[in-house]
Amino acid sequence: MVTTSIPVWETHSPAHICPFDQACSYLDWAGKELKLDAGLLEILSHPRKVVTVSIPVKLDRGEIRVFAGHRVQHSDVLGPYKGGIRYHPAVTLREVSALAMLMTWKCALLGIPYGGAKGGIPIDPKQFSIGELERISRRYISELIKDIGPSVDIPAPDMGTSAREMAWMMDTYSVNVGHAVPGVVTGKPISIGGSRGREMATGRGVMIIVREALADRGQSLAGAKIAIQGFGNVGGAAAQLLHQAGAKIIAVSTGNGGVFSEHGLDIPALKAYAAENRRSILGFPHGTFISNADLLTLPCDVLIPAALENQITEDNASQIQAKMIAEAANGPVTLEANHTLEGRGVIVLPDILANAGGVVVSYLEWVQGLSYLFWDEERVNREMEHLMVQAYRQVMQQSKARQVNLRLAAYTLGVGRVAQALTDRGLYP
């Protein structure tokens, strides 16, 4: 039975804050600081290409459903478009457009030769069988076949997707063009050209940036009290690596709440519990229940939002008790909240720096694939750490030189490099 004949491309974000408006406000802020021309800012605030495709899929029970699949290519001034694909019910075109823009600044900040893109399908992957997810992923990539490619646009995992979906996408693309093309996606399984270290990379990058920021304040990871919202690819890996480094992870959460222990959670035991309980951590015996809202306002050294955007807003910014926030998620702190936090002396390590470990190892995966030479995990981690620490130091230096907070420092570096490249290429004025 066909349930809808007219696909609804644009759904309203459940949050009252539009992620794309937020992304444009951050760009504006950086543009003012850099004194960029209005015309240049106008170019940078528009994605270069927006694609929405129809994904007709037969579900296991025989019903035909048509999903909307978005891919937004924000900028390719510095290299091929790059960015993840999100499967989440709250995905909208405006959200994907915001995330694509963030990718542009992130890649420029890290000095990797990519532009920015993002993709997404508004579905809850938990509601579909593996077979259904495979059909959705394959059809989505077939529809985008002319818009992606190893030197055009290279997708990767984001919320709700993983190496499994990347393998289906790589295979679909390869079958369509007639030969194996591992470089069309990153975050693939190692068996088909994925990189060692990619799965943990975003969490490892978060750990490195938090370690550097604490060290600059005379603190170490050992004994630091940390709360983490989100226990998926990023939050889970960050929790594991921070725990290994001696930090005390006092709370973690998933979509329906979390667990708290003042003495620190046993993260390996919690990971094992989640694996046995279809990713749910509720009911973990060595801790008490905590809501996502309460987790955000716990007193701690570092708060790590690692789930969705717009989690820290004007509504709760004044209640945040963390001394430092590391944005593992993209866009978890709104511009207004950022100002409030800054006024209260809370350090915010911005997303385009703090969560860049994933795209850095994606880049290393792409480089290994193009050169047909694969590295051991130690080398991947070393190269990634070098790029992350270098970017961190550049942000610190920019912050001192311009007397601005870390977000504006990171943005002025990222946006400034793209603006310079656009001008040097003769694309502006």
Ligand X SMILES: NC(=O)C1=CN([C@@H]2O[C@H](COP(=O)(O)OP(=O)(O)OC[C@H]3O[C@@H](n4cnc5c(N)ncnc54)[C@H](OP(=O)(O)O)[C@@H]3O)[C@@H](O)[C@H]2O)C=CC1
Instruction: Write out the binding residues for substrate.
Output: 82, 106, 362
In the bound state with ligand AKG, the residue whose beta carbon lies nearer, of 310 and 340, is 310
Tokens of 386: 């070098």
Handedness of CA 366, 368, 374, 375 (dihedral sign): negative
Question: What is the per-residue binding string for ligand AKG in 99-118, x denoting contact by CB under 6 A?
Answer: ----x--x------------
- Considering only residues 134, 158, 309, 327, which one is a binding residue for ligand AKG as defined by CB under 6 A? 158
Residues binding ligand X (CB under 6 A): 84, 157-160, 202, 229-235, 253-256, 279, 292, 306-308, 328-330, 355, 358
Nearest distance, CB of residue 72 and ligand AKG, angstroms: 12
Nearest distance, CB of residue 257 and ligand X, angstroms: 8
Q: Rounded to the nearest 10 degrees, what angle do helices 163-177 and 130-143 cross at?
A: 50
Has 118 been annotated as catalytic?
Answer: yes
Closest-approach residue to ligand X (CB):
232
Which of 32, 58, 118, 188 is an active site residue? 118
Partner that binds at residue 159, options ligand X, ligand AKG, none, CB closer than 5 to 8 Å by kind: ligand X
Partner that binds at residue 253, options ligand AKG, ligand X, none, CB closer than 5 to 8 Å by kind: ligand X
In the bound state with ligand AKG, the residue whose beta carbon lies nearer, of 184 and 250, is 184
Query: Could you tell me which residues are annotated as the binding site?
Result: 82, 106, 202, 233, 362
In the bound state with ligand AKG, the residue whose beta carbon lies nearer, of 65 and 70, is 70
186 binds ligand AKG (CB under 6 A): yes
83 binds ligand AKG (CB under 6 A): yes
CA distances (Å), 208 to each of 30, 109, 201, 323, 387, in order?
A: 25, 16, 10, 17, 11
Q: Kindly determine how many residues on this chain lie close enough to bind ligand AKG according to the rule CB under 6 A.
A: 14
Pairing label, strands 302-305, 225-229: parallel
Nearest distance, CB of residue 328 and ligand X, angstroms: 6
349 binds ligand AKG (CB under 6 A): no
- Considering only residues 31, 358, 369, 416, which one is a binding residue for ligand AKG as defined by CB under 6 A? 358
Tokens of 333: 């702190």
CA pair distance 272, 396, nearest whole angstrom: 38
- Tokens 């047909």 locate to 372
Nearest distance, CB of residue 349 and ligand X, angstroms: 13
194 binds ligand AKG (CB under 6 A): no
The angle at the Cα of 366, spanning 362 to 370, to the nearest 5 degrees, equals 170
Partner that binds at residue 82, options ligand AKG, ligand X, none, CB closer than 5 to 8 Å by kind: ligand AKG
CA pair distance 160, 232, nearest whole angstrom: 9
From the list 45-53, 219-227, 281-289, 353-361, the region that binds ligand AKG by CB under 6 A is 353-361
Encoded amino acid at 23, one letter: A
Partner that binds at residue 139, options ligand AKG, ligand X, none, CB closer than 5 to 8 Å by kind: none
Backbone conformation region of residue 79, classed left if phi is above 0, alpha if psi is from -120 to 50, else beta: left
Give the DSSP letter of residue 115. Answer: -
CA pair distance 218, 127, nearest whole angstrom: 47
Distance of CA 28 to the CA centre of its chain: 21
Nearest CA to 30 among 329, 395, 343, 423? 395
What is the number of alpha carbons within 13 Å of residue 415 lying toward its C-beta? 30
Specify the 3-state DSSP secondary structure of 429. Answer: coil
Nearest distance, CB of residue 280 and ligand X, angstroms: 7
Burial of residue 52 (CB within 10 Å: 0-12, 13-18, 19+) is middle
Give contact residues for ligand AKG (rule: CB under 6 A). Answer: 82-84, 103, 106, 156, 158, 186-187, 330, 355, 358-359, 362
Active site (catalytic) residues:
118
